[in-house]
Amino acid sequence: MVCKMLILYNILIISGMISAFPLLFFIVLASRKRRETLLQRMGLAQLPENIKQNSFNGPDQKPIWIHALSVGEVISALPLVKGIRNRFKNRNIVFSVSTKTGFETADKLLKKEITALFFFPYDLLFSVKYIAKKIDPAAVIIVESDIWPNYLFEMKRRKVPLFLVNARLSDRSFKGYRRFLFFSRPLFSMFSSICTQTGEDARRFELLEIPSGKIKVVGNLKFDQESPFIFEDGIKKTEELMSIKPKQKVLLAGSTHKGEESILLAAFSKLKKDFSDLFMIVAPRDPKRSEAVCRLFKSSGFSACLFKDLSCPSANRRFDVIIIDTIGILRKLYAVSDLAFIGGSLVDMGGHNPLEPAAFSKPIIFGPYMNNFVQISELFLKSGGAVQVENVKSLYETASMLLSDDEKSRIMGEKAFNLFNQNKGAVGKILKVMTAGIACGHDC
């Protein structure tokens, strides 16, 4: 079954590459980041020098390879990387990503924990064979998604245990995999273990005819993030940089998407009439959109500024709105906010992680589209740590209520933090599965 799937898959890949070669050539030529990583990802250039440190004589010293697609998966992996570092002290950890923003995030957050950071290979047979041989891992861990057939098969062929962790299947993904069961069943069956976020995710994997013995419900890694600690001095510096006054209310909209900012703008316009001193921070999911978002708020008469421009002498004045045009600072911004809105939820993008504001005891608002975080969002709603809104009107009413009632806002933030704190434990369960899997190999 696996061989038939792979033959068909590689025929499709080769055919697609040949037919789309002019377009692919143009895309690579036009994209600097793709040009910079192309040869390495194809296995035609040397891997980073420090990967050579991972060539050891004994099987007990082979590295553990962790792969995360992009920023969200890198952040999910943080507590697991630290857990692996403590459990497998004699092994190095190599870490791969598939996007530039993911690389930048991992480079910033994981430098002290990993031996090497590199881009994941393209799923071409010669590429994955070359890189697999160079790294020769003791185990491979894939965080949430980014699953590639040739890569999995090569690791299985080399008898490397494969673990899919923080696994989830959204409604859309599940329907797609069910439609192409001849492809998805052998694909997921190559994993030694699949550690799911919820029982519902486990049930869906079973419906894809994955052996139940491979599936473990361990919970969500995102709950295992360390409770963030930011020194008061750090908070004060952020407030000073943004010219936030003492006791000034701050509304933060994190990871927003195209079409969502116009809804936020409409609600903010109404809120400013009731709370004239209200300050807003908007962090687009894609920083490249920040200038367009800034122009949107300016066009409605608000004083808006990009975060990168705050240090300029000309920016030495107060603003109504700051637009974040860099990555890696959202957590710090939650610390200075009074109210957090979760982006990607008022437009159909599946929502984003509500745990970061919860870790800072912030009351949370999100829209109806939280299908990427169904279980977590339901837990927050049931606990009273979050409120779901549908449109401009309900967003305005909810934000107005929380901004005008400090006690209600405090209690809601406290409930959000308690939920965050009470659902930890996924890392320990994954480490238990990994330890057993590495001990007995791929076919454990």
Question: Residue 139 in 3-state DSSP?
Answer: strand
Q: How far apart, in whole angstroms, are the C-alpha atoms of residue 263 and residue 368?
A: 13
Establish whether 414 is a catalytic residue: no
| Beta pairing partners, 353 | none
Start-to-end CA distance of the chain, whole Å, equals 20
Cβ-proximal residues to 395 (8 Å cutoff; 6+ apart), any chain: 263, 264, 267, 341, 346, 365, 367, 389
How far apart (Å, rounded) are the C-alpha atoms in residues 362 and 359?
Answer: 8
**Cβ neighbours, 10 Å, residue 30:** 9
Q: Which of these is catalytic: 36, 49, 73, 206? A: 73
Q: What is the DSSP string of 296-337?
A: HHHHTT--EEEGGGTTSGGG-S--SEEE--SSS-HHHHHHH-
Q: Give me 216's structure tokens.
A: 């473990």
Dist. CA 293–CA 278, nearest whole Å: 18
Q: How many CB atoms lie within 10 A of CB 298?
A: 15
- What would you report as the CA-atom Rg of the chain, rounded to the nearest whole angstrom? 23
C-alpha to C-alpha distance for 7 and 264, rounded to whole angstroms:
49
Burial class (CB within 10 angstroms; exposed 0-12, middle 13-18, buried 19+) of 133: exposed
Tell me if 363 sits within 8 A of 381, measured CB to CB. Answer: no
Residues acting as catalytic residues: 73
